[in-house]
Structure 1
Amino acid sequence: MSSPSPYEILGVPQSASLEEIKIAYRKAARASHPDLGGSEEQFKTVQQAYQILSDEHGNARFEKSFQAPGQAPRAGTTSRAYDEKLRTSPQHPKAQLATEYEPRLDDASFTLLDRARSIQRVHGEPRKRGLFSSRSRMSRETHTINLLTKNVLNILPAARLVNGLNAPGGGHFDHVLVAGYRMAVLNTMTLPEGYYAFDGNVLRHGNKMTQPPALNITGMQRSFMQMNVVAFTLVLAGNGNPHEPVIEYHRRADPTLSSSPNVLNAAGLIRELKLFLGSGPSPNIVDRPVLARLLDRMY
């Protein structure tokens, strides 16, 4: 007997949209999660099915964003890993074109940022804030840097990661990712593995409630008017599983709504960052003045 397909595991037709797949996954994850009466084996099967289908649909959205008007979608879409498809695609999307710099690296009139730091992909590292340091925070940020380097920077050559910034108006940002004219501001938190419901304000796990860190990016958007700035909160689990914790959004807290924050586990964050940064205008551009100003904000 053949194994059930990812569509059969989630109980959706092959014509299902990405939103329908997400809804089905949330129901299946809730039904199969060990915390809620399921088994670890069932839960892993549901996770794998969702990963395959979301990668497939996400890749199609990514590639479609670069098609010329009237151009048909690329045929032969498979369920290969998202990053593998980007590397091997014979028709490279703009994000995979050779990195370009504005101003050019040989422009001697531009002195805000030298050639070496313009080419460097990762800037800064976890460090103390004030007199006291949090070992758990620094460990969490180190893990996030490694995660982003492996899964985003290796896929988007022009992306640049800046770590540890002073936020406009006070506070801190753990990480900022830029590619072309899009900017992702990212803070992190750690929660026990399990199933969480997010209502746009707090994460609920049984009778416990946890509020994600506030991320006010208004000042950042005003400081970088040419950029599209979006905030993300990465929720890490102590067991290292990128699909944990499972986060289900209430209908009015869907992250596709502009008023709702993006609160995601590691697998969800990587998928959304690649789509957000890679499908923007000129994602193969390194804006050197923007990068220089971000480096000036490092603490």
Structure 2
Amino acid sequence: MSSDSGDLYSVLGIGSDADAQSVRAAYRRRVRQAHPDAGGTAEEFHQVQSAWEVLGDESARAAYDRRLRQPQTSAESPADEAAGSGPIYGRGSGFGGSGSGFRTTASGSTSAGSSSADSARTPSGAAHLAPVYIPDLSQPEPLSLPLTSQRSHGRFASRGLFGGGRVRRAERMADLLEKHVLAELPTARLFNAVALEPAEKDRRGRSRPPRGHAVDHVLVCGDTLVVVTSLEVPAAAASWDGRRLHAAGRSLTLPDLTGDSRLLRATLEAAMRETGRETALNLGQQIVLHSPDGSMQSPVIETRGTGSGRAPLAPARAFRSIREQLAASDQANVIDRHLLAALRRQLQHPLQ
């Protein structure tokens, strides 16, 4: 398998048969060369970082290699020609990637060059392609390079005398999401303590930290948002009837993440329209249950009915569900800087 000028191996200056040690050495060499302080550019530096995010991870690299080996079609369909007049991003452009391209229309929105009827249900394979930044990294706005690169955003603050336990659970959950979701999906980002209502502005037009109801965690990958929260269950087993969770002789109504995610989508899409971009976001939700023993496999959930949202799951299964939801879109390798900026404005406690 050759390493043409558009792939991630070329970004690091190595062949596709390089072993893990050679990849690491090449990354260290190239990241020093590409650093702006050494005469490189911000975009070149970020390209090297993005190449390392894929090639430095064994599973991500294997998925990328499989995509490179797939035969490519040589002609666009009439539907592709009609999609818009903007540039096409994907294999052969930018700094790598393969498979479906993404077209930026005149309005700045994105659409996939090809699609599948199953794309909303199964991983598209795009999540491990080379990242595509919109707008590209040569533009300083709408989000700085450091914040664009940052994988996790926002923190939790204790509210009142009895808020410490909930904050500790949310912080632990954020750590687990970084380890079991972000580490597997190079283009995914995590936002913590995200308000659902639009942020207000002061007399000078500056945004204030948003108040009101907030969700614990929002993960974004491409055009997909997944809202996540976690609960502690005082038992090693529980049952779910589609509306209420039953455990240890108690019954609990779970948070309405479906409604929360729809409200957040409306807020974000309205914010995107203010920038001249029409965006249709896909939604997902997941409630993660923790048992007293801290096991990733428990509590065991017996599902007895169907509800409007996804069934709550133990951590191991929940993280797999979250990854599958995020990776389903054929735009999973797109990093929309306008969307990241809009999400940062919804943070109740941002970290710079």
Into which bin does the TM-score normalised by the smaller protein fall? 0.5 to 0.7
Mapped contact 1:220–1:229 kept (Cα < 8 A): no
Mapped contact 1:236–1:245 kept (Cα < 8 A): yes
Q: 2:290 aligns with which of 218, 228, 236?
A: 236
Residue 335 (structure 2) pairs with residue 286 (structure 1): yes
Residue 105 (structure 2) pairs with residue 95 (structure 1): no
Tell me, which stretches of 5 or more residues in structure 2 are unaligned? 1-56, 68-124, 199-211, 270-279
Residue 245 (structure 2) pairs with residue 203 (structure 1): yes
Shift of 1:280: 1.1
| Counterpart Cα distance in 1 of 2:58 and 2:315 | 18
Which residue type is aligned with residue 99 of structure 1? P
Shift of 1:281: 2.1
Shift of 1:113: 1.2
Which residue type is aligned with residue 194 of structure 1? A
Q: 2:255 aligns with which of 198, 213, 222?
A: 213
Residue 218 (structure 2) pairs with residue 164 (structure 1): no
Mapped contact 1:196–1:246 kept (Cα < 8 A): yes
TM-score by length of 1: 0.65
How many matched pairs?
A: 209
1:120-152 alpha-carbon deviations (Å, 9 max, x no partner) = 1011122234x5561211111111111111111
Residue 230 (structure 2) pairs with residue 188 (structure 1): yes
Residue 182 (structure 2) pairs with residue 153 (structure 1): yes
Tell me, which stretches of 5 or more residues in structure 1 are unaligned? 1-82, 254-258
Q: State the partner residue of 2:118.
A: none
Which structure is larger by alpha-carbon Rg, 1 or 2? 2
| Counterpart Cα distance in 1 of 2:142 and 2:162 | 31
Shift of 1:238: 2.6
RMSD in angstroms over aligned alpha carbons? 2.0
Query: Quick one: percent identity of the two aligned structures?
Result: 28
| Counterpart Cα distance in 2 of 1:252 and 1:228 | 21
Mapped contact 1:243–1:267 kept (Cα < 8 A): yes
Q: State the partner residue of 1:144.
A: 173
TM-score by length of 2: 0.55
Instruction: Tell me the secondary structure at the aligned position of residue 136 of structure 1.
Output: helix
User: Following TM superposition, where does structure 1 have runs of at least 4 consecutive aligned residues deviating by more than 6 angstroms?
Assistant: none
Q: State the partner residue of 2:156.
A: 126
Shift of 1:260: 2.6
1:168-198 alpha-carbon deviations (Å, 9 max, x no partner) = 2841110100000100011121112321111
